[in-house]
Amino acid sequence: MIHHGSKQDPAQSANAVMAAPLTHQFPAFPASWYLFCRADQLSKPLSKRILGRQLVAFKTRSGKVSVMAANCSHMGADLGCGVVVGESIQCPFHNWKYGADGVCHHIPGANSIPAFARQVNYPVEERHGYVFFFNGPEALFPLPFFDGENPADFKAGRVFSNIAQAEWFMVAAQGFDAQHFQTVHDRRLLQPPQIDSPSPFARRNRWLAEIIGEETRDRVLRILVGKTVNLTITNWGGTIFTVKAEFPRACSRFLVFFRPLEGKQTQFDAIVYSRCGSSSLGLVARRWFTLAIFSLKIKKSAIPNIGQHTLFQPMQT
């Protein structure tokens, strides 16, 4: 660590800046965007434990979506068991009503609202049929999408999820780990990776690779779309990847949201996109190709503390 006023060689300073943080220095739940649920799940309030706390999402009569602390500030009842009344969510225990901003505005029989009657509220965005929230009082960066692309020009496929038996920063680091890329994903790099920072909260990695895997999906990829891929991976906030895979005869785009779980595990949720106007079959095919890019085969991992678990465990969706 470099202290203010200390004298240090510039080269040593550069090395200090480039050194990876110690594992205990990573936040448990980074300030970033996270996938909460599908929008069609909000026909009634939805409460779930996420990022180490209980949160509730609901949609008001006018269509505004809110994500806030689920335990009522009065006596801790779960607002997810309540109901939406107009533009508010009503607590099931004493009928306190909270607006989409988390502020209580009605208490039966009370003439005034106490200052404590408010819920922690999170920035929210609904996009392509999914609800996302930012872990913080205000979003530090917009919900990411692909460079130069308009979300309105795309449609999203069904999310697929996996559990990684590792902490989020170890999973996220794989996007910049060339040896891992070649070893696990069966791709041979044809040139050195190009890494830059398109935003203060983003790091981008671009590489050209040859598909050398012998899994069925890899063989089909080579036949249908070509044997090389230009891959652009941009990490946002540490927990989000936007991935664009350009083959000679096709292009695949998907987003991956990493969510830290308790017990040093990480859930990742991936959503595949295709341009509006393309066939539903095309979206299904891209989802299939994305699974090939991920190469989600069960492999033993040498990461410490994983033991006999596989690195990735498929989940039912």
Q: Are 88 and 61 in contact (CB under 8 A)?
A: no
Nearest one of 162, 184, 163 to 174, comparing CA atoms: 184
Tell me what pLDDT residue 151 has: 97
Taking phi over 0 as left and psi of -120 to 50 as alpha, with beta for the rest, 174 belongs to: alpha
In this predicted structure, what is the pLDDT of residue 4? Answer: 40
Provide the pLDDT for residue 278.
75
Q: How far apart are CA 201 and CA 135, in angstroms?
A: 14
Q: Which amino acid appears at position 316 of this protein?
A: Q
The DSSP symbol for 79 reads: G
- Are the CB atoms for 59 and 129 separated by under 8 Å? no
Using alpha carbons, list the distances in angstroms from residue 281 to 149, 284, 288. 22, 5, 10
- Environment class of residue 132 by beta-carbon count within 10 Å: exposed (0-12), middle (13-18) or buried (19+)? buried
State residue 114's pLDDT score.
96
Q: What is the CA radius of gyration of the chain?
A: 22
User: How much is the pLDDT for 177?
Assistant: 76
Q: What is residue 226's predicted lDDT score, i.e. its pLDDT?
A: 92
Given strand 97-99, what is the order of strands in its sheet? 83-85, 88-90, 97-99, 104-106
Residues 6+ apart with CB under 8 A from 225: 247, 248, 249, 250, 289
Coil/strand/helix, residue 274:
strand
Residue with tokens 């200052």: 115
Per-residue pLDDT of the chain (317 residues; tens, 9 = 90+): 333 444 444 444 444 456 777 878 889 999 999 999 999 999 999 999 999 999 999 999 999 999 999 999 999 999 999 999 999 999 999 999 999 999 999 999 999 999 999 999 999 999 999 999 999 999 999 999 999 999 999 999 989 888 888 899 988 887 787 777 777 677 888 999 899 999 999 999 998 999 888 878 788 888 988 999 999 999 999 999 999 989 999 888 999 999 999 888 999 899 999 898 876 656 676 666 666 555 444 343 434 443 333 333 334 33
* Amino acid 281: pLDDT: 59
Distances, alpha carbon 51 to alpha carbons 84, 165, 212, in Å: 24, 16, 38
Parallel, antiparallel, or unpaired for β 194-199 and 228-236? unpaired
